[in-house]
Every structure is written in C-alpha cells, then in structure tokens.
Amino acid sequence: SVVGAVEDGVQEVTVSILNDDPPQIQTTSDPLSYTVGSPAVVIDAGLTSVVAAGSTFTGATVSVGAGYVAGADILEFVSQAGITGNFNSTSGILTFTGTADSSAYQSILRSVTYKNVGGSPANLERTVTFTVSSGSLSGSDTRLIELMNVAQPLLVGIDFGGGSVPGNWTSYSGS
C-alpha cells in the first residue's frame, strides 16, 4: 500500500524529474598570445561544452572583461545552426541567442575571434569569459589573452661619407 492513499490496491503515482544540472563549458587553460594589429585569431578552438541529456542550450555570451577597451578590442564569429549573435562594442559582450544542442553552441563558440586595433594598449592582458545557458541554468569558464605590442621601427641616421645629409634616413625593424 502507499502511505497517504485513500484506497487499498493499485495506485497511480506521477514522478516528475527535474533536470537541475547546469550546462558545463571548459576552455583551454594556456593563455592565447596575440600581437596587437594582427589579423583576428580564434580565441579557443579547443573549447568544449556539455548540457544534461535531453536538454539544449538557449543562449551564450562571450565577454572581454578585465582590460577591455571599447573600439580597440573586437570579437567576431561565424554564423551557424540558426544561432544569432550580436557584439556590443561599448560593453565588450558578444551575445548569442537561439535554442540548439551543445554541439551547435560548441561550434559557434569555437568560431569566435579576437583582434585589437588599438595601437599600443597599456594593459596587455584580456580576460575572456565564455558563458552558456540552458533555461535558467548557466556555466562559464575563462581564457586569458596576452597582448604583445608591435615593435616600433628604430630610426637610424646613416652617414654616407662627407657628413650627415638631411633626408638620408632609413628605418630598421629588429631587436
């Protein structure tokens, strides 16, 4: 018999299973090196994501936190699988929306690129946070980008004999 049942015999019981496992995301632990002014580079081609069986992702964000400079730090991505995205250049947050399985979100998150067009930034580190959502549950992880400034050419005067002549300057890039 079932405790609390009003009748003896067979009882119908309904069990609802609540999936409360948050989605998981894991980024590559080694920092990404990037030379300022270079073409865009993929932030994390090794990123992995997992959502509980039977669940889907409903959104994701990629944000440049510490060190972000509006107009200099740029995130881009390759559209796919019906997931839409928008980069807010004021806040440094790339937002994805659309319901899709974890492999679709993993693919679009792996396509996110970073570039810096800001010259010589004072802060040479950027912390990028990847967050995935499944309903009201979310999970996140970070990847560090280490920026390297481009070496400025060294201006060298060359004496071609007979003294220094204005305008006979050349530049040398090297260490």
Question: Is residue 153's pLDDT more than 80?
Answer: no
Q: What's the gap between Cα 133 and its chain centre? A: 15
Share of the chain above pLDDT 70, in %: 75
pLDDT value of residue 17: 52
Tell me how far apart the alpha carbons of residues 41 and 171 are, in angstroms, rounded to a whole number: 29
Measured CA to CA, the distance from residue 128 to residue 33 in angstroms comes to 13
- Model pTM? 0.75
DSSP state of 60: E
Cα–Cα dist 103/114, whole Å: 21
Is 25 exposed, middle or buried (CB count within 10 Å of its CB: 0-12, 13-18, 19+)?
Answer: buried
pLDDT tens-digit map of 43-84: 999 999 887 766 788 999 999 998 899 999 999 999 888 899
DSSP codes of every residue in 84-110: EEEEETTTTEEEEEEEE-HHHHHHHHH
Q: How far apart are CA 78 and CA 103, in angstroms?
A: 15
pLDDT at residue 144 tops 70: yes
Mean of per-residue pLDDT scores for the chain? 83
Tokens of 37: 């002014």
